[in-house]
Amino acid sequence: MSPSRSQTDETRGWIVPVGGAEEKVGHPRILQRFVRLSGEEESRIVIIPTASSLDETGKQYEDLFQELGAQSAVSLPYRERVDTDRDDWLEALNDASGVFFTGGNQLRLSATLGGTSVATLVRRLNAKGIPVGGTSAGAAILPEHMIAYGGTGGTPLAGMVSLAPGLGLTNRFVIDQHFRERDRLGRLLSALSYNPFAVGLGLDEDTAAFISPDNVVRVVGSGAITVVDVSQLSHSSIAETREGEPLCMTDVRVHILPHGSRFDLNTRCATPP
């Protein structure tokens, strides 16, 4: 699926994938910044907790965002595809100044929301300037291509990763979350070996990529983002390698970017803090 096009007088909203386990108590700078982008004391944040199997997740984020100064925060707990046709929930979503997807299982998100009016509306809202963010599974689903699941380890292997359609806010990058904590470099490289168009963003926990409308990634959080740039990839052995065997990938660029760093998705240039 492709992102909704912004009108000539509109600017796309921020896209904010978070690596999971973001700070919620002491200094929740990631969630605080999302509230600011959504309108601060006038923000109306809609939370979609579909990825989570816990009933209390939506309420937890409602309380968090309201404590951080949001005017309102409401959870829309889509559990079945039939829920996506509820007019009252679609009305609440359409009125949002910010949309946030919680963590859990990204396949629960894609299977419930994929191809529905909710997914279409979220893309349209982002194209109109509304920030859309998500943590963990909620981060993975934001781009066009979503890592559904895969193995661990630093070496990319054939068959190591499975991809599924994501929400489709952008096709410029692929997200992997809990990156350093769960040793996921290999599966992100494996995903990028199929096609060198996208940039890989490996998000550590409590770390977010605040991606501006002009496609500049700003790193916020206590960890780092591993940026994998395969735009100059000269060889990928994905077509010839047997499942489970190591892949050959040459001329791959990797940047490790902590808080305050930037990466321009247009020019593929990284800037230190």
Query: Which residues are tagged catalytic?
Result: 136, 178, 205
The dihedral region occupied by 206, where left means phi > 0, alpha psi between -120 and 50, and beta the remainder, is: left
d(C-alpha 158, C-alpha 59), whole Å: 41
d(C-alpha 221, C-alpha 4), whole Å: 29
d(C-alpha 213, C-alpha 211), whole Å: 7
Q: Which helix (H) or strand (E) holds 147?
A: strand 145-150
d(C-alpha 36, C-alpha 39), whole Å: 5
* DSSP symbol at 231: T
Q: Which of 100, 109, 36, 123 is nearest to 71 (CA)?
A: 36
The values of phi and psi at residue 122, to 5°, are -60, -40
What is the three-class DSSP state of 207? strand
Total Cβ atoms within 10 A of residue 239? 8
Residues constituting the chain: 273
- Is the distance from CB of 259 to CB of 219 less than 8 angstroms? yes
